[in-house]
Structure 1
Amino acid sequence: MTIPRGARGAAPRHDDRRRSFPQVASREAPDGRFAATWWGNAWVEALEDTALDPARLARGRAYAGRGHVDAITVTPGRVVAYVHGSRPRPYRTEIRMRTLGDDGWERFLDEATARPDHIAALLDKDVPHALEAVTGLLPAPGDLVPDCSCPDDGYPCKHAAALCYQAARLLDEDPFVLFLMRGRGEQELLAELTRRNAALSAAETTAAAPPMPTVPARAVFDAAERAGLPLPPPLPPPDRPGRPAVFPPDPDAPDPLALDLLASEAAARAHVFLTTGHDPVAALTPWQDAVRLAAAHPGSGLTASTRALYRDLAYALDRTPTDLARAVAAWRQGGAAGLAVLEEPWDPPAGPFDRARPALLAADFPAFRPWRNRLSTESLQLRLGRDGLWYGYESDAGREDWWPRGAPDHDPVGALTDLLGR
């Protein structure tokens, strides 16, 4: 018997207080500023207000824009990366800042859980101004301490300035990076926010509605049976699935965020079955269900919690996280039919497939090579699904590394046009 990879040995434990990010793509905010969010620009301002040499800042900004900053690693109080300069060997560069103490985090958590819109904003990767005003999360001038292995003694040197500018782009993408810089990991914070929010909701419910007297159900049924009374009709199903239980963090227990996801999925599945009598998940294989779960999770594999989910689901089914990420893209493109298009080449009958190539040529698209249900160029591909839809794929030229892109369409020209964004 083949033992799944996840059963042969424990998957590596996720370190919630250490995150690494690949090179950040260059971009400009619509208003010409370097960052796109108010907190990202506040980070930049803390750097620029401290700098002693505007010329070094300008060169650092240019370095950031030209992709001179390699992968960035963030841990509490420290941001580290290798930055390429004029010499062949890159310089090790870091930015240090103080972490928040326990009192600061208590103020942050109290303020965040006091208002439901604050929690909703954080889950949407937004930082309310009120949280910053209470806790001082963002650095003030002088809070950022640069250090670099280069010989330049500028404060900061252009390499440290480039790293600081790129860090602002990380904060744009995910404000939980800022929280990590200040000392708390994403899963740690979310678990504590969930616990406090549940405790607050329970206290409000208890205060608003005193407990009602209860009667054992068996006693009611026995009395009704003795009296010859019919049982009352069942209660109507609720309008929406119930909220899952709260799972406090425990180092020896499963990941609370994963448990919360599974509990939410179970509640939604039970609600559909209760209201329709149909279980939409029952026919799925374990692999299809894992892809469905990952596709339903917010994000695209970028946050720490999503990366951990992808890793654990993939290892449990003897797949790689890349396999799962590609399958999730196919599921989001077309559900179970999209996943089948990704994984199952087939021989379509003559008709729509044979008419597709002349239609593409007539629309001024390049010539496509046919193979089974696929039409390919060096970097573009269309796949005909068994549902009669055309699904778009892309790959780097010269590589067989196809990824689902765009929306499926009954017309191959329409599917390719959507893929290219025309």
Structure 2
Amino acid sequence: MRADGSPAGGAAAGSGPASARARSLPPAPPRPGARGPFAESWWGNAWVRALEDSSLDAGRLSRGRTYARGGHVGTITVTPGRISAPVSGSRPRPYRTVIRMRVLTEREREAFLDAVCAQPAHIAALLDKDMPHALVDAAAAAGVRLLPGPGEPDPACSCPDSGRPCKHAAALCYQTARFLDADPFVLLLLRGQDEEGLIDELARRNAKLSAQGAGTDTHAGTGSGTGTGTGTGEGIPYSPPGIPARDALATSVRPPLPPPLEPPAAPGEPPLLPELPGAPDPAALTFLATGAARRAHAALTTGPAALERLPPPHDAVRLAATHPQLTGRGTFSDLFARLARGSGHTAQGLARAAAAWRQGDEGLSVLETVWDPPAGGFDRARGALAAAGLPRMTIRHNRLTDATGTLQLRYGRDGRWYPYRSERTGDGQRQEWWPEGPADSDPVAALNALTEG
């Protein structure tokens, strides 16, 4: 393991961040009371044996199996040298659980590719989602370990249990065995080799071997140049799956699109994000992802206006007003304070703006703008308040303020009344007006809600 927490071993060409791709496995449905092995393939069972051989506590393994069958493991993400997933335990928020593996060095990668290309059957097996014993043995003979070795898999978990593995990491390992069963390229991805880059490189090397065989063949119609040779070092042609583009575009007739799916009842929640060296704060990313999911859900249910672009200061107000974690006006979380600083607000100012945003479409404008309304509805408001027996209000621009200086109605350009309440600042030196409750077209109703609140 390097000092930055990344897996030990060189990142081979074509296996670094620019080309390696993450793979995800959605959560498996709960199977309480199920029995039997977690893996069906021999390499999946080898993975399970490596886990169980490295554990010193059979009890934790047993609880891990129960967690895995009980649906406690969330979406599994596999990247080079790393498996991660949220695993639910005894607390409401899942634990961050990670399994690490060593990636292949450049030399090991070259040796592995040579071992695969040495037998055309190995290429065919991989394309058929199979991992033959002979391939693993050939790689081992070349000094390349594909299956877990000493000290692997290497678990880590955010839970307080110091066991290696804890029951959450054991549950992740057992569920990973099912992932490996379905696709051996997941094991290769763990070793730093993404499927697309690996297949491209095997195709290139195989074509080169075929061309070399054709150049040395002196008997027409025979030898490896036909692409059918079976001897060591002879190549076979490789065609990626699919159909030629000309066949797909040969007709202008297209099947009708299926009807759109119904919007979900509620916006989705982002997955539990890992903490990685040098990566953004997971809490901040979760916050932004939650906001994006809420906007997308609003766009599906209310229309595209929910996706309107806003200037950054106002977009920060929208985030603060719509996100459940960013409420309050006295004490603020570090996340709230960072959002305020990044958008040019103070924490108090952002909280006030968020409260105004929640009042309605004109709420933020009413907070920020003073204006002189024309004669009409605004002038009639004082008479309506007096007729209802409410306290007399003084007028200043578009604002009506009671005699105590603690209650205020602000008239918006949309003809609605926005209630405000005065509160002293923390140092007690001055008062600030805070938006208080929703706007109303009736000034009497707005003031009554304010005095009763």
Using the size of structure 2 for normalisation, the TM-score is: 0.45
- Report the structure number with the largest CA radius of gyration: 2
Q: Which has the higher helix share?
A: 1
